[in-house]
Amino acid sequence: MIKSINKICIVIFVMSGVITGVTTAHAETKVSLKQPPHSLEQWYKPANKRQVWLHTMFKLRREMQAVRENAENGDKAATLKWIKRLDKHYNKIADMVPEWEKEIKPRLIEELEMFAEKGDTYRLKKTLKMIKRTCDDCHTVYQPLVTATYRSPYYDDIKLKGQDGTIHSFEDNMEQLSRSVNRTLIALDDGHIDIAIQSTKKLGEQLRTLGDSCSGCHKDDAYPQERILGNATQQRLQKLQTKISAGKVKDSQDLMGEIAVTVCARCHNTHKIVSDLRNVLLPVE
Ligand code: HEC
Ligand code: HEC
Ligand code: HEC
């Protein structure tokens, strides 16, 4: 399921050129991304029932905020309560991924507790900043690849059953869709009405085939599918047939444009962009 990679190091250069008058200043930031340890996989779907790692992170962020705000408000009991939770979850980082033990500084949480007990808010906040730095250091190096690896869906495993019963891949379906869209546009341009009608029918079938795949990931939620392939799309496809049959080329072209935006682009914006990013970051071995 998850492609395994040995060791990769991706270097991203962020160039920003600032032009002031006749001089040009270049600032160059270099970030090296490291491959996360394999032990992380067990804390993510599908190896785990829940996204345990990610939810631990959300807790840490809430706890950091709670400690700071309660300390600022002088509520010592609440501050100490949240420090206990922070302590637990911060240490969970190394429990869950032993390879990352060196990335955290549990000693800082002890200091945090000491400053809270003393009511030394100034030092407490300084310590929080030091803890925050350990969060940021790990995020800079690991977060992008972890998000790409464990939180983006993988389409290669999806098999689609065509209306004629043939099985094909997600990628085949995309190529067919693209061909039907373009064949329709070409036929409209050339005044080949029959071909245009045929290929929009094909497009409708291919979209129904694709629609069967949605529930594989969107299990208890019909809304994502409705939004992209639901009623509005069905109506556009029907209207398209009517317009083409009536020889209304301009209207048909406009409708094709609407379908490309509301069906193809809208889905690509959530699914394809992340998928492309994942494929770039995680090349097949
Ligand atoms: C599930 C939502 C979804 C819908 C709806 C959708 N696509 Fe895609 N499309 C994707 C994803 C995801 C990929 C990338 C697949 C991958 O990386 O394996 C993709 C890839 C593609 C590709 C590139 C294929 C390749 O060889 O890499 C084309 C072309 C394409 N889509 C065309 C279309 C057209 C045209 C439509 C509308 C008629 C459409 N798609 C509708 C999700 C969608
Ligand atoms: C040893 C590495 C490491 C340390 C230390 C660490 N994190 Fe993370 N954190 C990650 C990784 C990896 C991700 C990416 C998770 C993902 O995208 O599923 C992440 C993601 C997050 C996110 C989710 C961001 C988002 O919206 O997607 C939050 C919030 C977060 N961390 C908070 C914290 C806080 C607060 C601390 C420090 C108290 C911390 N983390 C320490 C590795 C770490
Ligand atoms: C391989 C898994 C996968 C498949 C197949 C899939 N999706 Fe998604 N989709 C996701 C993930 C992951 C998200 C982002 C998290 C979320 O919102 O659930 C998402 C988000 C969305 C969203 C934006 C969030 C929302 O609720 O509006 C829409 C719309 C959507 N998908 C439509 C579709 C449609 C339509 C299909 C079928 C043609 C489809 N998806 C197939 C995994 C998938």
Cα–ligand 1 centroid distance for 176 (angstroms)? 10
pTM of the model: 0.78
Res. 274 pLDDT band, cuts 50 70 90: confident
What dotted CATH number matches 9-150? Answer: 1.20.120
Q: What pLDDT is stored for residue 29 in this prediction? A: 67
Determine the average pLDDT of the residues in 97-119: 98
Please state, as a whole number, how many other Cβ atoms lie within 10 Å of the Cβ of residue 108.
18
Query: Which atom of ligand 2 is least distant from the CA of 103?
Result: 1
Q: What is the per-residue pLDDT across 26-60, written as a single tens digit (0 to 9) for each?
A: 556 677 888 899 999 999 988 898 999 999 999 99
pLDDT above 60 for 7: no
Residues 145-161: tens digit of each pLDDT: 898 888 877 888 889 99
What is the C-alpha separation between 137 and 55, in angstroms, rounded?
19
Q: Which residue, judged by its Cα, is nearest atom 27 of ligand 1?
A: 171
Q: For 56-77, how does the pLDDT look when each residue is reduced to its tens digit (9 = 90+)?
A: 999 999 999 999 999 999 999 9
Instruction: Tell me the one-letter amino acid at 35.
Output: Q
Please give the residue that has the higher pLDDT: either 38 or 15. 38
> Would the CATH topology of 9-150 be identical to that of 156-281?
yes
- Residue 133 predicted with pLDDT over 90: yes
pLDDT at residue number 220: 87
The pLDDT value recorded for residue 28 is 60
Angle between helices 273-281 and 121-150 (to 10 degrees): 90
- Give kind and range of the element (H or E) at residue 19: strand 9-20
93 in Cβ contact with 37 (< 8 Å): no
**Confidence at residue 13, expressed as pLDDT on a 0 to 100 scale:** 34
Question: Mean pLDDT score of the chain, rounded to an integer?
Answer: 88
Q: Name the CATH architecture for the domain at 156-281.
A: Up-down Bundle (1.20)
Q: Does residue 23 surpass a pLDDT of 50? A: no
User: Which atom, in ligand 1's list, is nearest to the CA of 156?
Assistant: 18
Task: Report the residue among 40, 57, 105 best suited for mutation to probe ligand 2: largest number of ligand atoms under 8 A from its CB.
Answer: 57
- What's the 139 CA to ligand 2 centre distance in angstroms? 6
Residues having CB closer than 6 A to ligand 2 are: 54, 57-58, 60-61, 64, 90, 93, 100, 103-104, 131, 134-135, 138-139, 142-143, 146-147, 150-151
Tokens 């959530």: give the residue.
270
Amino acid 215: pLDDT: 87
229-243 tens-digit pLDDT: 999 999 999 999 999
Rounded mean pLDDT, 250-256: 97
Q: Give 169's strand partners.
A: 159
Helix (H) or strand (E) holding 9: strand 9-20
pLDDT tens profile 171-223: 999 999 999 999 999 999 999 999 999 999 999 999 999 998 898 888 889 99
pLDDT band at 144 (very low <50, low <70, confident <90, very high): confident
What pLDDT is recorded for position 84?
98
**pLDDT higher at 273 or 52:** 52
Asked if 146 and 40 touch (Cβ cutoff 8 Å), the reply is: yes
**What is the pLDDT averaged over residues 247-254?**
97
Domain chopping of the chain, boundaries: 9-150, 156-281
Q: Ligand 1 centroid vs 206 CA: distance in angstroms?
A: 12
Q: In this structure, are strands 159-161 and 9-20 parallel, antiparallel, or unpaired?
A: unpaired
pLDDT of 140 above 70: yes
